Chains A and B, each alone.
Chain A
């Protein structure tokens, strides 16, 4: 009897514990089903073409162009930028590089991935990848941790022989993100995401929402920016509390035995 009760409590504990684990390992969006995105690219931070995550943006350009796209990344996401450059039939060795900048135009480090690659003479295409660090909801002003907001992708040839300058190339860029979940949920949050020009945009929104005008950056993630208070840590901590309570009851029950002490005569 006593044994079954403890076993029941243990089973319950297991069932509850599986909950937060499942909530934590949320599936990463697959990169393969990328819809067709814009077919052009900007040529500066100011004119960067906005793309959404898991969207494949393409652009025809000339070797030597600096191509800019921008995307939105929210807290707890780890974005991955993939770029492909299709080179013309005849070309000499070229070095291409993909750089990622945050909303403050600070260069963001790539954790891994081939950010720079040299295409040998006659190579048809090259693939570049940059896996960013996980975006945090808050960081100290002196750190350059990735924060929620706009990110810029710059794709360019950094080493280009004069003979190849201006040759037609076709490029494509795709941004995917893995949701890291509660493990990356930090305390604190920004009042506004790191979107350039947001002070001007929000001011203007208050004035007159009907007027459409050029803004530096107007992208938002699907479903808007996260408010920053929810994370799977609530589930973990809550379930932990319940388990502790159950374990407490179990421990108490162990010392008390089943109901009435056996030595006490009935009717005492």
Chain B
């Protein structure tokens, strides 16, 4: 059943990506968020939240106090919702317990009193179905094109295997709705830390371990404020396997997915006298081997490489990125056609064993076509000189010229005089 659900959600995610790719093939410039920023706070209300180990109170009390303060401080423009997991079913049946997630307060304009009284009713109860809760939370935030953030607060790892919440997070990210999941672990152990940081990593979010109530309040406030910051929303596109079929992009910010050792091709039209600037970053949203690379090439339609950008690195990283510039020379012909430049993106990431390779890793592409630079005809600015050697040479040459001139005129006077 759970296996089937996972398959279904995977297929859905795939469909969504495809649909997004089809809907905006080479859409115009990157859009800007017009909808309100949305935040869904997902709170673990499982039985273990009863433990008294945060500042002398229960974990639940700490979470409630933090929520009250956060609700007071939430900026006006943010639409906030609250979802619980494990709040209702106290029984032992895993199947039922793992479906136990409910919307406590719907995502929308915030009524602080109402939200607070809803929070006050919570009492620690059931299981910890993180994966299903995340899927539902993603559905809560689905509409609109503002920035979207899930803040997950939990004190125990997911008890509903085999649905790995980490893979769920990756599938949510692959839907292309621009959603970030930040996770907070209350009194964490190694296993919880691993799971929550994996969820955060999968969506470009952050993981924080919390041991005090004020830390929890500060962090959630910080995350809600972060959601309120206006950010450029990238346009979803889908690169092709070869240049001939690649989508044509204009200036803007684009997002795509690229699998391990996959090639992605895009095209950009560059008029004579214009400069193409492209930068690309590929995110390591899962466990990858610590040596990796990225290559971005600008290639003519005939396959000749114009310029490339390369990057390589090792160690822990979120993204690897590189970029290139291609100034196309001016043409004497006024109506010379624009050149179609192919951009090829390849990555040299490799997955550690046991890591799923689909969906692909998030790829972000920035394209700017601007006026071309004024070319340098000399090393120095306008060929001007500088320094004591220059002054010395000029003085010496001037002096010698003066002497010569003087002697020549003296000689001429002498010749004139003798004649």
**Which A residues fall within an 8 A CB radius of B?**
13, 17, 20, 24, 40, 43-47, 60-62, 64-66, 97, 101-107, 137-138, 141-142, 144, 156-160, 162-163, 165-168, 182-183, 185-192, 194, 196-200, 202-203, 213-216, 228-229, 231-234, 236-237, 239-241, 243-256
Contacts and interface: CB of A to CB of B under 8 A. Distances in A.
Nearest to B325: A141
Interface of B: 29-30, 32-33, 185, 188, 190, 193-194, 196-197, 204-209, 215, 218-219, 222, 225-226, 229-234, 251-253, 275, 277-281, 307, 309, 311, 313, 315-319, 321-327, 364, 366-388, 390-391, 394-407, 409-410
Given A197-B366, A236-B387, A40 B226 contact: yes
A120 to B, nearest CB: 19
16 contacts: A61-B206, A105-B321, A141-B326, A158-B316, A160-B316, A182-B381, A186-B376, A189-B374, A197-B253, A200-B30, A214-B32, A215-B232, A240-B391, A240-B395, A252-B402, A255-B409
Nearest to A157: B316
Contact of A236 (B252, B307, B386, B403): B386
Contact of B364 (A46, A138, A199): A46
A244 B225 contact: no
A251 to B, nearest CB: 3
B316 A43 contact: no
A122 to B, nearest CB: 18
Q: Binding site of A, secondary structure by majority: helix, strand, loop or mixed?
A: mixed
Nearest to B378: A187
B402 A216 contact: no
A199 B369 contact: yes
A213 B385 contact: no
A245 B401 CA distance: 9
A44 B403 contact: no
Given A105-B321, A214-B33, A244-B394, A45 B309 contact: no
Nearest to B402: A251
B380 A186 contact: yes
Contacts of A104: 277-279, 309, 322-325
Contacts of B381: 137, 182, 185-187, 228-229, 231, 233
A43 B201 CA distance: 11
Given A40-B226, A141-B327, A250-B402, A187 B377 contact: yes
Contacts of B311: 106-107
A62 B207 contact: yes
Contact of A233 (B386, B405, B406): B386
Given A106-B279, A141-B325, A200-B368, A243 B394 contact: yes
B34 to A, nearest CB: 9
Contacts of A46: 231-232, 234, 253, 364
